[in-house]
Structure 1
């Protein structure tokens, strides 16, 4: 089974990297690279595409606006240098969200996710469909704490708190303190399931109990929403409002 794909980015070097990565994956067939969403739209009108590698910050039409305009959506993997857009990916049911500079192992993991879904639903591999994001409840990470390497199930993490060179993982059963930066641990988390809402806080979107003004409540903890993270987070909240 092969998946047809488009790579859309206004940066030539970013497109070169996508070409290189895609050429290494046997099940990916790169139809074309595009420097704008309008160019990609013309291709989608001519033929079915299974997967879009889509930058967000582009002139004329952003990647988010482009996806919102599509009636029949291919699977989408967002590629961007701006972590604050992760929540936009979540609301648009993107398969994954890759933060530039993109390492090959993260790229490989993302496209494997698309391929596995296509195998489960063969019809989806031959026609554009709206991708649905279903968190993998078996995902986990390993962290070093108390002179041991501990396995932490991602579904158990309520939120993560940063303290200088350390982070505290607040889970459903315990607190784990490990020598790690907030940026480093964010790289290891699924971008569509966790959001950085403050310089010192990352939250599990699935565990949010309530939101009031500029604070998130998870269990008994109130977590501030930083000014630089507020806009994208509140867009996600609005998308869930009835």
Structure 2
């Protein structure tokens, strides 16, 4: 699938530069234009096929929310804002994501992964939901590598890196913190069991008082994560 065509709208030029520079590291998103006024983007959208908008909410004149409501067939939207009070309203507009400034590269990458998969599933004629995320892109070295989440068994923190353990494939190393990796992985599919480990729930074959097991692989349970594991056990026993 070719890169998604995107634009960014923000009344602060510095904020646009941040988005522009971060998106340079994400090859499946092509930022084709930036605007400091939402109304300036209307004509551009009428003449160009755009799949994704990175959109600030609080702007003078036409706000981001008013702008989206004015479009008869709006593209996918990722709201980027310094204010959290509009989160519910943004998701009522079927936004792909809501980024609270200042946001990290990994958090932006998560939004882009969502948009990419949403567009991919639409193109395949599949039903799309807000929680659907069967693939993600992970930066490893100078590359963005596509990972099928069905292949990811667990993520392990190794110093300043994350090692992603995959089914029948060599581990993938990425410069991420455990918290950043956790933010990238959907919570309904993965669970953090230790400060250094995140595992795929469906890959767990056994749980005891100190460890979870993925077949022959033993992963320790951190004391602060015991409650989450107990909830998982309760859910599976119902």
- Give the TM bin, normalised by the shorter chain: 0.5 to 0.7
Please give the residue correspondences for 1:86-97 in structure 2 after superposition, counting only pairs within 5 Å: 86-97=87-98
Counterpart in the other structure of 1:107: 108
Helix, strand or coil at the partner of 1:4 = strand
Question: CA offsets per residue over residues 178-199 of structure 1, 9 Å max, x none?
Answer: xxxxxxxxxxxxxxxxxxxxxx
Any idea what the Cα deviations from partners look like across 1:154-186, whole Å, max 9, x if unmatched? Answer: xx8xxxxxxxxxxxxxx9x69xxxxxxxxxxxx
Contact 1:56 1:62 in 2 (8 A): yes
2:50 is paired with a residue whose SS is coil
Higher relative contact order (CA 8 A, sep 6+): 1
SS of 2:65's equivalent?
helix
Could you tell me the TM-score, scaled by structure 1's length? 0.56
Aligned residue in 2 for 1:64: 65
The Cα offsets for residues 128-170 of structure 1, whole Å up to 9 and x where unpaired, read as: xxxx7523572555387982424849xx8xxxxxxxxxxxxxx
Structure 1 segments of 4 or more deviating over 6 A?
143-146
Distance of 1:71 and 1:96 partners within structure 2: 20
- The 3 A distance-change label for structure 1 pair 60 and 21 is same
Structure 2 residue 223 is matched with structure 1 residue 147: yes
Which consecutive residues of structure 2, in runs of 5 or more, have no partner in the other structure? 133-186, 195-220
User: Alpha carbon RMSD of aligned pairs, Å?
Assistant: 2.9
Give the match's secondary structure for 1:59.
Answer: coil
Measure how far apart 1:36 and its partner are. 1.0
Q: TM-score under structure 2 normalisation?
A: 0.56
Conserved 8 A contact 1:142-1:151: no
| Matches of 1:21 and 1:80, distance apart in 2 | 16
Q: Are 1:134 and 2:130 matched, yes or no?
A: yes
Q: How far apart are the structure 2 equivalents of 1:135 and 1:33?
A: 29
Corresponding residue for residue 213 of structure 1: none
Q: Does the C-alpha gap of structure 1 residues 146 and 111 become closer, same or farther in structure 2, counting only changes over 3 Å?
A: closer
Which structure has the greater CA radius of gyration? 2
Corresponding residue pairs, total: 151
Question: Structure 1: which 5+ runs fail to align?
Answer: 125-131, 157-170, 175-242
Write the distance in 2 (CA, Å) between the matches of 1:73 and 1:151: 42
**Pairing 1:2–2:78 present:** no
Change (3 A) 1:12 1:139: farther
Contact persistence 1:140–1:151 (CA under 8 A): no
After superposition, give the CA deviation of every residue in 1:15-44 in whole Å (9 maximum; x if it has no partner). Answer: 000110111111111110100110111210
SS in 2 for 1:65: helix
- Distance in 2 of aligned mates of 1:92 and 1:104: 24
